[in-house]
Chains A and B, each alone.
Chain A
């Protein structure tokens, strides 16, 4: 292109804002991100950590009571055998999905904007899966026997039923937790080496050194490392799709009206990504202010995430519409009643709030002005967090509480133990996030180095 053509091109297509603020070099990126971990934490960190640690104590209290007395302390009772526990399980595991989507699928699609948020999102995945995994285990009532779910040779001569979606769930969730942890750790190895080399404190040097396992940035190592990382991403991408699909099978394979539909797998996966991006935004927006990371997590990152949230939100809306359509089109009396019951039954308020939070409010993201306002995006993300929890609650509880036999209809009322357990896992999640930002680099340092101008190697083989 000649200079005039270039100028013309630039006037028609204005350059997009970069993913990293200008003026950064490999050195400044390294120092700025590792500084967060290596310097003393500000006072608000201690306040926040102790507040969330107190909530973790409340969780332990609720769990101790649960283990001592049994799950009768919750509001669950026939016909509503699954309630907040499974709602929370699905909600948490859905949140985890955005982390894997950002780290694996966007990596394979060569989306550079993932680089400054992937580490953080992966940590979020890991902690969300930990919170999620807790629920089915404690819901067994005798969690010390939860290992019975695993196939292992035992003196009782028993084996799990491999035709059951609940066993599929055990496989899917445990594989997901393992692969997410591995992916996260592999990504951390070079950054742990950076922290080993940067830290002045002897104990910190030793610990980071041991975790880095002697990483020295050898070109031969990078070569294998990059291949392994790409392959892991390739494995994690179908895995993340499979996990929420399998979670949806827990419902779709049942005959309960409102569960027994083929739309569930895609609708659940879209909902998971929707909820996950909302949670990533909920966490990144305050953190980038707190640690002054505007150079790395730019306006464009927030805008892109808002766009993903809008797109997946529309898929979720399609799912809701199809649910209503199926209620009518199936001609099944029970399916039709299920939908009318959601709309006008005792849980109508939660159902209305669900439409408000998940469908109506996110439509404001169509407007560029809204996407450009970090505060507005944050508010929308909070609505989605609430809405996605309500979605799982509606699917689980309204389907169960009035099924085929009116004589067995009943209402679900949460007890304070339900509330304490749920709030407790929120505290656990936040406490883990606090520990993570204290001890590990929340942005992938080595991947950020590849974004700075000096990293663009120009020379080609000349001979």
Chain B
């Protein structure tokens, strides 16, 4: 069939998070790598089942925080010592204790922006179109259904074989996802 090449993947629908986690675990043991689960709420056990270990978020936020910290102090220092030196109640130009507040606020501001924009960037959002939205009942992924999708680009993917494998995981339904 001509559509065989044009398949995003196969998706299995589960009724409970337990079945999904068990299914994901078995899929990973069966050697599948290119797969993703879709759930209405975060499930910690899934990270382990899908082999997701490291989130790059802490590093991104740390980088943002350091940038904000140095930038905030640099701004206060540069404005008060270099650009506009003023003797204010006899304080030294570099009256660093007074700069702690703007420095702290800039640290939090840039770290927070890094957390949000970084999370969106790492997740590839905004993404208005995604093939998985084509699958049947997918609007319930934001209610009470749990999905496991094995993608066609996985090396082990085989239209019939993978379908049988997914069916063996005891899902309520297995369907094809068009790209």
**Residues of A at under 8 Å CB distance from B?**
25-27, 30-31, 151, 157-163, 165, 167-168, 171-172, 175, 178-179, 182-183, 185-186, 190, 193-194, 196-198, 209-210, 213-228, 231-232, 235-236, 238-239, 242, 246, 249, 446-447, 449-450, 454-455, 457-461, 463
Q: What are the residues of chain B within 8 A of A157 when measuring CB–CB? A: 83-84
27 chain-A/chain-B pairs, Cβ below 8 angstroms: A26-B40, A26-B143, A30-B40, A30-B144, A159-B83, A168-B105, A178-B113, A190-B142, A194-B143, A198-B139, A198-B142, A214-B128, A216-B132, A216-B138, A218-B123, A219-B38, A219-B50, A222-B41, A222-B42, A222-B46, A223-B47, A224-B55, A224-B57, A228-B119, A235-B111, A449-B40, A454-B144
Question: Is B99 in contact with chain A by the CB < 8 A criterion?
Answer: yes
Q: What are the residues of chain A within 8 A of B127 when measuring CB–CB? A: 213-214
Look across to chain A and name the residue whose beta carbon is closest to the beta carbon of B102.
Answer: A171
Question: Is B159 in contact with chain A by the CB < 8 A criterion?
Answer: no
A26, A162, A447, most chain B CB atoms within 10 A: A162
User: B41 contacts A459, CB within 8 Å?
Assistant: no
User: B39 contacts A461, CB within 8 Å?
Assistant: no
Q: Which of B137-160 contact A (CB under 8 A)?
A: 138-144
Q: What are the residues of chain A within 8 A of B105 when measuring CB–CB? A: 168, 171-172, 175, 239, 242
User: A232 contacts B112, CB within 8 Å?
Assistant: yes
Whole-angstrom distance between the Cβ of B99 and the nearest chain A Cβ: 6
Whole-angstrom distance between the Cβ of A84 and the nearest chain B Cβ: 26
How many chain B residues have a CB neighbour from A under 8 Å? 73
Q: What are the residues of chain A within 8 A of B106 when measuring CB–CB? A: 171, 175
Q: What are the residues of chain B within 8 A of A162 when measuring CB–CB? A: 76, 79-80, 98-99, 102
Given A30-B144, A216-B132, A220-B36, residue A161 in contact with residue B113 (CB < 8 A) = no
Compute how far the CA of A215 lies from the CA of B58 in the bound complex, rounded to whole angstroms. 21
User: B48 contacts A461, CB within 8 Å?
Assistant: yes
Produce 1/0 per residue, B114-137, CB < 8 A to A: 011011101101111110110000
CB within 8 A of B79: which of A159, A185, A186, A242? Answer: A159
Compute how far the CA of A162 lies from the CA of B96 in the bound complex, rounded to whole angstroms. 10
Q: What are the residues of chain A within 8 A of B12 when measuring CB–CB? A: none
Other A-B pairs, 10, CB within 8 Å; known A231-B58, A236-B108, A446-B42: A175-B106, A178-B112, A178-B113, A186-B116, A213-B120, A227-B119, A228-B115, A236-B112, A454-B144, A459-B22
User: B115 contacts A163, CB within 8 Å?
Assistant: no
Q: What are the residues of chain B within 8 A of A158 when measuring CB–CB? A: 84
Q: What are the residues of chain A within 8 A of B130 when measuring CB–CB? A: 214, 216
User: B40 contacts A446, CB within 8 Å?
Assistant: yes
Q: Which of B19-63 contact A (CB under 8 A)?
A: 21-22, 24-25, 29, 36-48, 50, 52, 55-58, 61
Given A30-B143, A178-B112, A459-B18, residue A224 in contact with residue B41 (CB < 8 A) = no
Whole-angstrom distance between the Cβ of B167 and the nearest chain A Cβ: 20
Across the A-B interface, the 8 shortest Cβ-Cβ residue pairs: A213-B126, A228-B119, A159-B79, A197-B139, A214-B127, A26-B144, A222-B42, A168-B101
Q: What are the residues of chain B within 8 A of A165 when measuring CB–CB? A: 101
User: B37 contacts A219, CB within 8 Å?
Assistant: yes
User: B75 contacts A151, CB within 8 Å?
Assistant: yes
Given A162-B102, A171-B102, A242-B104, residue A217 in contact with residue B55 (CB < 8 A) = no
Q: What are the residues of chain A within 8 A of B50 when measuring CB–CB? A: 219-220
Compute how far the CA of A171 lies from the CA of B38 in the bound complex, rounded to whole angstroms. 40
Q: What are the residues of chain B within 8 A of A186 when measuring CB–CB? A: 116, 119
Look across to chain B and name the residue whose beta carbon is closest to the beta carbon of A218.
Answer: B36
Compute how far the CA of A246 lies from the CA of B98 in the bound complex, rounded to whole angstroms. 12
